[in-house]
Amino acid sequence: MRALPKLLLALTCLTPALGLTTGCGEPKADIANKQHYSGHHLNFDYPGNWKTSEESEGLGGTLTMTMIYVEAKGGNAMVIVQHFNEGLEVDYDELVSEFVNGMREAMPGIVNIQELDGGQREPIEREIDGKTREGRRIRYAPEIFGESVPHTVEAYFMEFEGEMVILYTQVPDEDRSKAEPGFNLILDSLTLGE
């Protein structure tokens, strides 16, 4: 297994940092008209009013990372699925600390990131693809011009068949009730290795 490169952590943080400072106006996840994603040994359903995009990057040797973005159209809800075609040695607590540091670095100078969890990332668990998966909950608030918008990120870690998947869900807390059904649809339908 390889160690997770720090550059990779910065890449992970850049995309969610782009639209994090706003809240409200989140469209309710349309789970009645679900769509399906299949690729990179991953399958999952996602809301009809969300969209997917992906990009891949070689990380040296045969190691490749594919990022699958699932985003609410016209909203801030986002799921990022990172697929690594090889297993990685990952310290989950270090990973989420680097995630927060990467967000700080990715934000423009006028945005301040406040940690709402005091740096204590809550361990969480969830059943995904028939197994209990470990994760972490990260609470923070981007602040711009004195306005603070609390956010929660949940990260889940999955290993299968010599590969690694890290899945992040993110939305402003005030919009969570509208996005949560979409997150649940993805997490409950996710299958690995097929």
| Predicted local distance difference test score (pLDDT) of residue 2 | 45
Q: pLDDT category, 130, cuts 50, 70, 90?
A: very high
Dist. CA 70–CA 35, nearest whole Å: 11
Condensed to tens digits (0 to 9), the pLDDT of residues 85-128 reads: 887 777 888 877 777 777 777 766 666 777 777 777 889 999 99
**3-state secondary structure labels for all residues of 57-106:** EECCCCCEEEEEEEEECCCCCEEEEEEECCCEECCHHHHHHHHHHHHHHH
Condensed to tens digits (0 to 9), the pLDDT of residues 25-40 reads: 789 999 999 999 999 9
pTM beyond 0.85: no
Q: Look at residues 170, 113, 118 and name the one whose alpha carbon lies nearest to residue 144.
A: 113
Residue ranges in 86-175 assigned as alpha helix (H):
92-106
Dist. CA 152–CA 129, nearest whole Å: 23
Residue 42: pLDDT above 70? yes
| Contact assessment for residue 98 and residue 7, using Cβ atoms and an 8 Å cutoff | no
| Contact assessment for residue 157 and residue 90, using Cβ atoms and an 8 Å cutoff | yes
